[in-house]
A and B are shown apart, each in its own frame.
Chain A
Amino acid sequence: NAGVTQTPKFQVLKTGQSMTLQCAQDMNHNSMYWYRQDPGMGLRLIYYSASEGTTDKGEVPNGYNVSRLNKREFSLRLESAAPSQTSVYFCASSEGPGQRYEQYFGPGTRLTVT
């Protein structure tokens, strides 16, 4: 099992460009998440999908959109990238809601917006 995979690993964008970060999990998990990690800070939730067909905003959703394509895949789109979106992006998944389910993380995507 690959676990949680993310593409690309690295990306450089110019201000105003758009891109989609891809995430897939092969653990048959119901819930998926997108976080960003900025220097000196822990991870902050951007969007999550509790189950296939649903998505909801997290703590820092502005400037992002998501799509839960199917149970396996959850993508994050930046429509018009800004330098403030320079960050490391992590996708995660868990069996379901409820606080005892740990989240499994992908390797991250390092995004730089110039």
Chain B
Amino acid sequence: AQKITQTQPGMFVQEKEAVTLDCTYDTSDPSYGLFWYKQPSSGEMIFLIYQGSYDQQNATEGRYSLNFQKARKSANLVISASQLGDSAMYFCAMREGWNSGGSNYKLTFGKGTLLTVNP
């Protein structure tokens, strides 16, 4: 079973509108972290936002927020007021196992969602 599922291969949004990118995850470890990364066409991976499994509040970083629903195992990224520069591939990733030894280090990535912002 996939540990990170991003069901939207591609999304379109109008400039200045909000958009939600979906991410569901699968883990039996009670302690984990969830990350979103942006990959523009230039290829670099840019960290956007982090949510810990024990965090009580949803994470926010500027125009990015994470809609964390622990019982549903979802960690959707919300981008408010989309800009043309937001057009990129977006990856959801999970890091498990504070106490799980080796797996503590690995980021497991989803396959990504390609976001296109239209003017």
Interface residues of A (CB under 8 A from B): 31, 33, 40-45, 48, 50, 56, 58-59, 88, 90, 92, 97-100, 102-108, 110
CB of B105 within 8 A of CB of A97, answer yes
CB of B98 within 8 A of CB of A99, answer yes
Contact residues on B (Cβ < 8 Å of other chain), bracket: 20 to 34
CB of B43 within 8 A of CB of A102, answer no
B16 at the interface (CB under 8 A from A): no
Q: Please, how many angstroms separate the alpha-carbon atoms of A43 and B45 in the complex?
A: 10
B25 at the interface (CB under 8 A from A): no
Please provide the chain B residues from 52 to 108 with a CB less than 8 Å away from any CB of chain A in the complex: 52-53, 91, 93, 95-98, 102, 104-108
CB of B107 within 8 A of CB of A59, answer no
Which of chain B's residues have a CB closer than 8 A to the CB of A99? 31-33, 52-53, 95-98, 104
Which of chain A's residues have a CB closer than 8 A to the CB of B97? 99
CB of A33 within 8 A of CB of B91, answer no
Q: Which 3 A-B pairs have the closest CB atoms?
A: A42-B109, A99-B33, A105-B45
